[in-house]
Amino acid sequence: MAQAVKRLYPDIKLAIGPSIEDGFYYDFDSPQPFTEEDLPKIEAEMSKIIKENYKFEKSALKKDEALKLFKKMGEPYKVEMIEALPDNEVSIYKDGDFTDLCKGPHIDSTGEVKAFKLLSIAGAYWHGDEKNKMLQRIYGTAFETKAELDAHLTKLEEAKKRDHRKLGKELELFMIEEKAGAGLVIYQPKGALLRTIIEDWEKKEHLRRGYQIVIGPHILKSDIWVESGHYGYYKENMYIFQVEGQEYAIKPMNCPAHMLIYRSKTRSYKDLPIRYFELGSVYRNEKSGVLHGLLRVRGFTQDDAHIFCLREQAVDEIKGVIDFVAYALKVFGFSEFEVELSTKPDKYIGSDEDWEHATKALEDALKSKGLAYQIHEKEGAFYGPKIDIKLKDALGRAWQCATIQCDFALPQRFKLTYVGQDGKEYTPIMLHRVILGSMERFLGALIEHYGGAFPVWLSPTQVVIIPIADEHKEYAEKVAERLRENDIRVEIDGKNARMQHKIREAEVAKVPYMLIVGGKEAQAGAVSVRERSKGDLGQMKLDEFIGKITKEVVLSNSRQNRSG
């Protein structure tokens, strides 16, 4: 691509062009910004270069020779990169009339490229620093066969259609307004309802598993954050402010209040484990450049819990959490997930011995569950090692959801104790854990996984009733009332429009069921049922339909019919 760009636009300067997951990009310093129309031209030139089938020849130059060469070629970015190289030997690749600085490896010749496509253009600062010049980046991808390329392009198209930012807007689920604050999510009625359905499910499932629901304040005095260590290790991510001369911080995590509840009275070993659960909203100071839809935000709510337990209870508690995660993912329609274990980072609190114990507890639980996992060195939180679980969506993409952290340090810092069998005081272990993780990110995953067509139990609107004419509105109201009595979420589309138009609108809104009601239905106490994407199911007695949809809802979100 760079060779083609240089042939077409000799004045352009080459910056850097690495391969990335699923493709490559190259940054160019161009006097004229590229437009979409340039891409086919560049592709055509690339095809010529492929046909001309140049061999890629590697050579090694001494640093001063390489500097001389690229200065002569008039490539200042290459000169800067060579100057920054630690070695005295510089690797160069040449093919035909084109020479580039490159570590390699390369395919043997340009003729080996069988299928490629340029995808997009974006601005990118040199070295990713906004104080530097804005360069022009072109993204592309290449595969060994046309079929593989086509499959990849189809997947990209599908991902674009499912983009949660686009669907969030179309389905009126949520909005993020620069004016109100970047990275701050405002839920519209349907999004708020969807989130409420998930939160209700969470509360029910936590109570079933012996958790107690607690609620902490959104701000706490800095004294508490000093005690927890967040002030020392996490301060740059926190929003800190003054109230009557006293410093406070908005909570970036929910742990401190839970520890204060634990500390509020004397605990015995017989009381443990204690499991506190909170749908806790937290705020973290993320840089505006990394914010992205619901995935990277500044304010989000976690399904957070802290489990206080004895050392010998830790492995069983972790296993219980893993089971909970597996169950939750199944209920929400995800069948695959990946597991990662993150170990001690460079900045940490607590003793090395405790870190080892904690890491082993997590590992033992994973092993006894027979789960495969990857180890991520030094990626743990500052207070303990952790297990991360990433769900795989319908397009095979991974999304971070659950985290389980084993923590010996914070209970010590907060002087949490329990009275042991021998009457002496000991420090409990604390597990920090989330199941779905950030509600915002999980909603993003759900939206993209289902492409907005949620299963019936999660759909904010489950049924749209469409009266055929004005005189059928009264019967439509009656049907709606019966459905609402059965906890079915229903809307009536009573506007003056053609029935086909209303059906189309309900399809676009991805509502699972449409009930068409006219004179015949009213007389028979029935409804004509259409199912999303399946079409006409014919006429049913109203009771029959209520039985059908109720069964569907109950089976999909409860432990009936599901194990684990």
Does position 331 interact with Zn ion (CB under 5 A)? The reply is no
Choosing from 195, 206, 284, 510, the catalytic residue is 284
Q: Which is nearer to Zn ion, 90 or 255 (CB)?
A: 255
Instruction: Please indicate whether residue 106 is annotated as part of the active site.
Output: no
Does position 255 interact with Zn ion (CB under 5 A)? The reply is yes
Q: Shortest distance, CB of residue 231 to Zn ion, whole angstroms?
A: 15
Interface region with Zn ion, contact rule CB under 5 A, candidates 32-40, 63-71, 157-165, 425-433: 425-433
Distances in Å between the Cα of 177 and the Cα atoms of 291, 293, 372, 448 are: 12, 11, 41, 21
Choosing from 3, 136, 302, 405, the catalytic residue is 302
C-beta of residue 409 within 8 angstroms of C-beta of residue 423: no
Instruction: Please indicate whether residue 270 is annotated as part of the active site.
Output: no
Instruction: Please indicate whether residue 432 is annotated as part of the active site.
Output: yes
Q: Which is nearer to Zn ion, 255 or 404 (CB)?
A: 255
Angstrom distance (rounded) from CA 402 to CA 526: 45
Those residues whose C-beta lies under 8 Å from the C-beta of residue 482, and which sit 6 or more positions away, are 542, 546
Q: Shortest distance, CB of residue 254 to Zn ion, whole angstroms?
A: 6
Choosing from 258, 296, 432, 510, the catalytic residue is 432
Window 428 to 467, contacts with Zn ion (CB under 5 A):
432
C-beta of residue 232 within 8 angstroms of C-beta of residue 201: no
Angstrom distance (rounded) from CA 19 to CA 145: 18
Choosing from 304, 354, 388, 493, the catalytic residue is 304
Instruction: Please indicate whether residue 218 is annotated as part of the active site.
Output: no
- Beta-sheet strands, E only, within 6-88: 13-14, 19-20, 23-29, 57-62
Q: Which is nearer to Zn ion, 354 or 521 (CB)?
A: 354
Q: Shortest distance, CB of residue 228 to Zn ion, whole angstroms?
A: 9
Q: Shortest distance, CB of residue 239 to Zn ion, whole angstroms?
A: 18
What residue has token string 């390489």?
A: 66
Interface region with Zn ion, contact rule CB under 5 A, candidates 205-213, 340-348, 369-377, 426-434: 426-434
Half-sphere exposure of 28 (CA within 13 A, CB side): 24
Choosing from 255, 309, 401, 406, the catalytic residue is 255
Q: Shortest distance, CB of residue 208 to Zn ion, whole angstroms?
A: 22
Angstrom distance (rounded) from CA 427 to CA 144: 58
* Residue 360, SS3 per DSSP: helix
Those residues whose C-beta lies under 8 Å from the C-beta of residue 171, and which sit 6 or more positions away, are 190, 447, 452, 509, 510
Interface region with Zn ion, contact rule CB under 5 A, candidates 45-53, 254-262, 288-296, 464-472: 254-262
Interface region with Zn ion, contact rule CB under 5 A, candidates 252-260, 349-357, 358-366, 486-494: 252-260
Choosing from 78, 275, 298, 306, the catalytic residue is 306
Instruction: Please indicate whether residue 255 is annotated as part of the active site.
Output: yes
Among residues 247, 243, 230, which one has the least CA distance to residue 285?
Answer: 230
Choosing from 386, 449, 502, 510, the catalytic residue is 386
Provide the 8-state DSSP code for 428: P
Q: Which is nearer to Zn ion, 390 or 432 (CB)?
A: 432
Instruction: Please indicate whether residue 284 is annotated as part of the active site.
Output: yes
Interface region with Zn ion, contact rule CB under 5 A, candidates 96-104, 248-256, 284-292, 356-364: 248-256
Angstrom distance (rounded) from CA 50 to CA 39: 16
* Residue 116, SS3 per DSSP: strand
Instruction: Please indicate whether residue 304 is annotated as part of the active site.
Output: yes
Given the rule CB under 5 A, which residues bind Zn ion? 255, 432
Active-site residue list? 255, 284, 302, 304, 306, 386, 432
